Amino acid sequence: MKTNKEQEYALAITDAILGIFRDEEDGCQLHHYDLNEIDATKFFTGMIMACGLIFNKITGDYKTPLEFTYLANQLIVQYMMEDAEDEMP
Condensed to tens digits (0 to 9), the pLDDT of residues 35-62 reads: 888 899 999 999 999 999 999 999 999 9
pTM of the model: 0.75
pLDDT on residue 74: 96
pLDDT on residue 34: 82
Average pLDDT of 7-34? 78
Exposure of 72 by Cβ count < 10 A (0-12 exposed, 13-18 middle, 19+ buried)? middle
